[in-house]
């Protein structure tokens, strides 16, 4: 179990790209703060997610590499 204060991510002074599946939220939310788009789609039955993405990076493609 990981506890993340996602509200601090946009304040780190870097163009963050954070995207993770998570437990559901009571309500969906979406807003922009400090140049970062913050979104939770928690009302889905499966694969709820939390995203914090700098506005300069929203058009980047996402690739997973390990």
Six token digits for residue 34: 């400090």
Q: Give the per-residue pLDDT at 45.
A: 62
**Gap between the Cα atoms of 28 and 13, Å rounded:** 26
- Confidence band, pLDDT 50/70/90 cuts, at residue 66: very low
Residue 42 placed within a domain:
yes
Asked whether residue 65 is assigned to any structural domain, the reply reads no
Kindly state whether residue 32 falls inside one of the protein's structural domains.
yes
Domain-located, residue 64: no
| Domain ranges, residue 44 | 14-57
Q: Which residue has 């140049």 as its token pair?
A: 35
Q: Please write the tens of the pLDDT for every residue from 5-16.
A: 777 888 888 888
Any domain includes 3: no
Which regions of the chain does DSSP assign to beta strands (E)? 17-21, 29-33, 36-41, 49-54
Tell me which DSSP letter residue 46 carries.
S
């Amino acid at each position: 179990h990981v506890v993340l204060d996602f509200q601090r991510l946009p304040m780190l002074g870097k163009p963050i790209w954070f995207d993770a599946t998570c437990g559901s939220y009571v309500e969906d939310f979406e807003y922009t703060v400090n140049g970062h788009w913050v979104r939770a789609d928690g009302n889905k039955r499966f694969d709820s997610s939390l995203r914090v993405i700098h506005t300069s990076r929203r058009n980047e493609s996402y690739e997973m590499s390990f």
